[in-house]
Every structure is written in structure tokens, then in C-alpha cells.
Structure 1
């Protein structure tokens, strides 16, 4: 699994960060960034974070 965040779509709600902080964090502008691609240990939570994005930015 490979993840990316569409910076033009992200609204900075932070739900992805709260669900999977190993993969996502908010940048200085308040929008989500991918800080590491998921591996076997956090793939399920990264998928949950993507599914929970209210604007489908992930």
C-alpha cells in the first residue's frame, strides 16, 4: 500500500493524524502530509485513516 495526500483537497481536519500518526502529520500550514509509507504494522490504521478522510484527500 502506498499513500499520498492531495494538498489541494485536504482541509486539515487531522483525523488521519489521530488515527495513524506513524504515517500522517499536519504540516506548518495545518494540512496533512505523509511522513512515512505504511508497512505491515500500520497498514490497517493507514487504510482506516484514508477511509475516514471527510474530503477523500488521501
Structure 2
């Protein structure tokens, strides 16, 4: 799984941090950092965090072969 956060769109509401604190972190009051390739074990947390983003700044991409269960 690969995630991308549009940091220009992100407003620092930090809903993602509350729902997936091992993937998303808030440095200071508004500087969001994140793990771009989290473990698949975190998929549900990341999907919930993306859905909770008020400005829809989080995009989740599948890596090649992921849909078929293949590994690179």
C-alpha cells in the first residue's frame, strides 16, 4: 500500500493522526508527516483515516500486483 497526502490541501485537522497514529504524525500544530508505505496490517486504520479527512487530502494507492495477491 502506498499513501500520498496532498500537503497543500491538508489543513491540520489531525483526524488521521487520531485514527492511525503509527502512520500519521503531527509535528507542531500543523506540520503533518507520514509513512508513505505503511504495512498492510495498517490498511484498515489508514482507510478510516483517509475517510475521516475533512478535506480528502489522503489518497491510498495499491502497489503493482497487490490486487492479485502477488508480491514484488
The normalised TM-score by structure 2 is 0.69
**Pairwise CA RMSD:** 1.6
2:18 corresponds to: 18
Question: More strand per residue: 1 or 2?
Answer: 2
Moved >3 Å (runs of 4+): none
Greater C-alpha radius of gyration: 2
Gap regions ≥5 residues in structure 2: 59-72
Gap regions ≥5 residues in structure 1: none
1:1-58 pair list within 5 angstroms: 1-28=1-28, 30-58=30-58
